[in-house]
Amino acid sequence: MSLMDSKGTLSKAGKDLFARWRELQSVWSDAQSEEFEKTYLSPLEQDLRSAMGAMDQMGQVLAKIEDDCE
């Protein structure tokens, strides 16, 4: 699997997770759900953004390496 394929898979998984979370919030909206979101989902969302940004940077480096090797 290529780096960009992996990035796409990660992006889709994140979108699916947060879409399901929004659906779940319609039936689970109490202090515990807020704590769960604050403790787990908000940091995870930031980590996903950081990982995808890093994957973009890695893609640029790999493209440069490929160009340099040709």
pLDDT tens-place string over residues 24-45: 999 999 999 999 999 999 999 9
CA 19 to chain centre: 13
Question: What is the pTM assigned to this prediction?
Answer: 0.82
Q: How many domains does the chain fold into?
A: 1
- Helical segments of 1-70, H only: 3-25, 31-36, 42-69
Q: What pLDDT is recorded for position 45?
A: 97
Domain containing residue 51: 3-69
Side chain identity, residue 18? F
CA atoms within 13 A on the CB side of 16: 6
- The span from the CA of 16 to the CA of 11, in Å, is 9
Name the percent of the chain lying above pLDDT 90.
91
